[in-house]
Chain A
Amino acid sequence: MTATTSRRIVAIDGAVGQSPNRPDGIPKLRGEFEFAQDLRAEGMLWAATVRSPHPRARISSIDVAPALAVGGVHACLTADDVPGRATFGLEHPDQPVLAGEEVRFWGEPVAVVAAEDEVTARHAAGLVEVGYEILDPLTDPAEADRRDEVFRRMRIRRGDQTARGAVVVEGSYQVGMQDQAPLGTEAGLAIPDGHGGVDLYATSQFVHIDQEQVVASLGLRPDQVRSHPTGIGGAFGAREDVNLHIHLCMLALHTGKPVKMVYHRSESFAGHVHRHPAWLRYRHEADADGRLVRVEAEVLIDGGAYASTTSAVLANACYFAVGPYRCDSVAVDGVGARTNNPPCGAMRGFGAVQVCFAYETQMDRLAAALDMDPLDLRERNALGTGDPMPTTGQVIETPLPTADVIRSLRAMPLPEADPGPHHSYLPGGSGLTTEPGQVRRGVGYAFGIKNLGFSEGSDDYAQARVRLSGEGAVVETAAIEVGQGLVTVLAQIARSALGISRVEVVHVDTSRIDSAGSTSASRQSQVSGGATLEAATRLRRRILARHDGDDLDDEGVWRGESLLVPWSSLADEDWTETVTFRHPPTTEPDENGQGVVHADFAVAGHRAVVDVDVELGLVKVIRVDTAQDVGLALNPASVRGQIEGGILQGVGLAVMEELVVKDGVMLNATFTDYLLPTILDAPEVEALLIERPGSWGPYGAKGVGEPPTISSTAAVVAAIRAASGKELNRVPVRPQDIALP
């Protein structure tokens, strides 16, 4: 037994830097893990939602009597039954809980039904008679801009606006509407507490913001609503906004019974926000040596019918419109349009994805115009620590190893040119449609940057509690585990900071702990991780001070070689430490978009290798290699999981994933018609973690969830361009974009 702290910490099983198995792995593999879809309560009712079949209409009447006449139906509620605030919204409460006077998008909820079983609830929902006077939907975001139907306008001006370069490249780009498509659809159970309050267990990325919105719309006191973290099947941004949460609580309190609702897949597509489709116009100017002299960008995103997070997504798109490159003359104008299309909001990458496709295409074209190697061009302009952000002017204080990322990715080995022995490795796959002679290989690179944590002056914090129990230490949090492995990482941090190996992470409801903020913006490892680190560190310090010890481990408190307080005695004492962690403050932008608006940044690069059947327009993504700025990998296996999963979502946007909306109506709201990458579509991935410890994340960690998704799309399209010679200014790239002249 040694007495030195450092040796013990390094030796702790499951500490920071290792890749312990996840605590929920075996229950998930056995089918025993409880998801929101699996919840049940004695005597519970099932709910179903009545949705608008029109993108825009005036509601002239709603007759719920036919639904109520069905045996087993307990309630059918409409806008008139909302007890409190009639609207909700993540940032601006502009969306009706249930549409009363007008429906503004296809699929908007109009009424909710509760019945004794699911079939009856859905049948009764179909009997609600809604009178609609159909109105002309506004579905063109450019027209919305002209009519000033906008959620936000952004204007960024930095540097000498008259600066001009010798070489000019202009382009227009388009990004289609992507869906998060988490495998678990929206689901939840609300249970009345018998005293006028309610307990909600529902799919969420942010239980405290759900609780606030339920409280407002039900007209209850905050202590009457408890939102409980529960098992959810993925998120990727789709679960930041309220959808069935208020409906379930209304029905539970109205009927006095537990009420459960599970969206079908088609409802899930209608019931959550999507990645904003975007239209982008760019002008890059460089001097003859390839230094960026000026970047101009116009960014138009379609926010759809309600605000959700459109304002923040637009801001992000504009702040990162130049990419990870230095430039001292920048003009960006952004519009977040309000239309009658499906509402858009958060999806992994949050605005940084759309602009990356455009600016990286511009960088490749600029390199071509300069007759320069595209990686040399990027390295020459690489943004780094100490540089001002090209858009906001914020001086970057965190390590930002853009140049290292570029050099490292360039140095990674390329695969053999041979497409492989099996037909499934050809672009046509097992359809056997591809003539091998029509296959061309292409290689493309792209790099991206994004903020970590919330921006623009928001009070971004997370609370965590660390306490000792008889078994070991417990980390309490309301930070949502969406699958990324937060439950593993928080335990690792607590183990390293406390010196104790027996650590468990426990999710508690909104009444028992303050907010951890949203599991989004790649932030939880840094903010909830930061809170856990500080709480565990303080707890260890207090324990050692109280007992005059010099070390703490699984056996108890030590001084030198002697065990002063064995664990059993220590655990009998009340040891709890609660910490609210805040990252360095940010500010709102000034009228030119200038200011310290971000807390932290990360960069990543991707190199895609594709085989393209240029005759049929089919693409096989062979591999995507990446170098990513991770600060410090708290759990290398989890980081790799984020990288591989994020890259495949980027590949999806590049070649197959698009929600097709025509005249405001979604045409492919099923898994048959919205194509998701399968195991046969997945490229091989080699990932290089660039570890330059960051400035404020625990142990130097940076968030890693979003960067894999940002430039992987652009890299794949660059590779398809290299193979096909086509311009490809739009994603997803469709077969006709490649095969037709």
Chain B
Amino acid sequence: MIVEFTVNGEQVSARVTFPGSLLDLLRDDLGLPGSKDACEQGECGSCSVMLDGELVCSCLVMAADVAGSSVTTVEGVGSEETLHPVQEAMHQAGAVQCGFCTPGFVVAAADLFARNPHPSLTEIKEALAGNICRCTGYGAILRALERIATGSAR
């Protein structure tokens, strides 16, 4: 079937086959490989995207179900010219190592700050509890996001 929806502000039309996921559609058909596939079952958050304003694991969303929806991927966080404050803070804090979990953290953290500009440390942790990072031990990620929360980010 043909599905029409919006990705990062652009209207797209794509042929989807059962039982393909939104993640597969983004990565394989729409040229948006920023969302990563690390577990295929919604445990790691590497494929996090915004679907009609809700943070979801795109690996758990059936592609056919996004008809008429609006999707924002990591490629749509920030603009061509400027980084989103989350991206900038993570870059400055050394919060990126292998980078495979990074897009998911960027999407989830951007969602957090859109909802709550000054989250507490506990709120930051709870918001990111669905994203697994195997490299950093989360320390630098937390330091980056705390700087945004307290308004001390560069």
Residues of A within 8 A of B (CB): 19, 21-22, 24-35, 37-38, 118-119, 180-185, 231-236, 262, 264-265, 422, 424, 430, 482-485, 637-638, 640-641, 643-649, 670-672, 676, 678-680, 682, 684-685
Contact = CB atoms under 8 A, between A and B. Distances in A.
B100 A234 contact: yes
Contacts of B132: 183, 671, 676, 678
B15 interface: no
A671 B103 CA distance: 18
Contact of A19 (B94, B126, B133): B94
Contact of A29 (B35, B106, B136): B106
A31 B103 contact: yes
Contacts of B62: none
Contacts of A19: 94
Given A38-B27, A183-B36, A679-B138, 4 more contacts: A32-B75, A183-B132, A424-B125, A679-B128
Nearest to A424: B122
B137 A682 contact: yes
B127 to A, nearest CB: 9
Contact of B94 (A118, A265, A637): A637
Interface string B99-140: 111110010000000000000001001101111111111111
B40 A264 contact: yes
21 contacts: A30-B78, A31-B35, A31-B73, A31-B74, A31-B103, A31-B106, A35-B99, A35-B100, A37-B33, A181-B134, A183-B44, A233-B99, A234-B98, A264-B40, A422-B122, A482-B98, A641-B94, A641-B136, A644-B137, A645-B134, A680-B126
Most buried by A among B27, B35, B122, B130: B122
Contacts of B35: 31
Contacts of B33: 31, 34, 37-38
B153 interface: no
B87 A30 contact: yes
Given A29-B91, A183-B46, A483-B97, A679 B125 contact: yes
Contact of B91 (A26, A182, A430, A671): A26
Nearest to A233: B100
Contacts of B38: 183-185, 233, 265, 671
Nearest to A235: B98
Nearest to B91: A25
Given A30-B78, A183-B101, A234 B96 contact: no
Contacts of B32: 31
Contact of A26 (B83, B125, B136, B140): B83
A103 B6 CA distance: 49
Q: Which of B39, B46, B96, B97 has the most CB of A within 10 A?
A: B97
Nearest to B90: A29
A27 B98 CA distance: 11
Contacts of A34: 33
A552 to B, nearest CB: 30
Interface centre among B46, B73, B138 (most CB of A within 10 A): B138
Contact of A183 (B83, B100, B129, B139): B100
Given A422-B122, A670-B41, A640 B99 contact: no
B142 interface: yes
A485 B44 contact: no
A680 to B, nearest CB: 5
A235 B100 CA distance: 11
- Nearest 10 CB-CB pairs, A to B? A31-B34, A483-B98, A233-B100, A28-B99, A644-B137, A31-B74, A483-B97, A671-B43, A648-B137, A183-B100
Contacts of A181: 134
Nearest to B38: A183
A27 B91 CA distance: 10
B137 A646 contact: yes
Contacts of A670: 39, 41, 43
Given A640-B139, A644-B140, A28 B44 contact: no
Contact of A28 (B27, B92, B96): B96
Most buried by B among A25, A26, A484, A643: A25
B87 A645 contact: no
B141 interface: yes
Contacts of A641: 94, 97, 135-137, 139-140
A649 B97 CA distance: 15
A728 to B, nearest CB: 23
Contacts of B101: 183, 233
Given A641-B97, A671-B132, A28 B139 contact: no
B47 to A, nearest CB: 11
A265 B87 contact: no
B131 A676 contact: no
Nearest to B136: A645
A607 to B, nearest CB: 16
Contacts of A38: 27, 33
Given A182-B134, A640-B140, A679-B125, A29 B83 contact: yes
A679 B126 CA distance: 8
Contacts of B94: 19, 21-22, 637-638, 640-641
Contacts of B100: 35, 182-184, 233-234
A232 B38 CA distance: 12
Nearest to B105: A29
B134 A183 contact: yes
B44 A671 contact: yes
A21 B140 contact: no
A307 B32 CA distance: 40
Contacts of B106: 29, 31
Contacts of B40: 264-265
B17 interface: yes
Nearest to A708: B137
B126 to A, nearest CB: 7
A678 B129 contact: yes
Contacts of A644: 136-140
Contacts of A231: 99
Interface string B9-31: 00000000100100000011000
Nearest to A234: B98
A30 B74 contact: yes
Contacts of A233: 36, 38, 98-101
Contacts of A21: 91-92, 94
Contacts of A180: 134
A150 to B, nearest CB: 32
Interface in B36-66: 36-41, 43-44, 46
A256 B85 CA distance: 46
B135 A31 contact: no
A557 to B, nearest CB: 34
A689 B141 CA distance: 21
A485 B97 contact: yes
A180 B135 CA distance: 10
Nearest to A482: B98
A679 B100 CA distance: 16
Contacts of A28: 96, 99, 102-103
Contact of A37 (B37, B74, B122, B129): B37
A234 B46 CA distance: 13
Most buried by A among B39, B43, B134, B139: B134
A104 B26 CA distance: 38
Given A29-B87, A679-B141, A119 B17 contact: yes
A26 B97 contact: no
Contact of A685 (B43, B98, B139, B141): B139
B135 A680 contact: no
Nearest to A34: B33
B99 A33 contact: yes
Contacts of B131: 678-679
A19 B37 CA distance: 30
Contact of A671 (B27, B34, B41, B75): B41
Contact of A184 (B27, B36, B75): B36
Contacts of A430: 126
B129 A680 contact: yes
Nearest to A484: B97
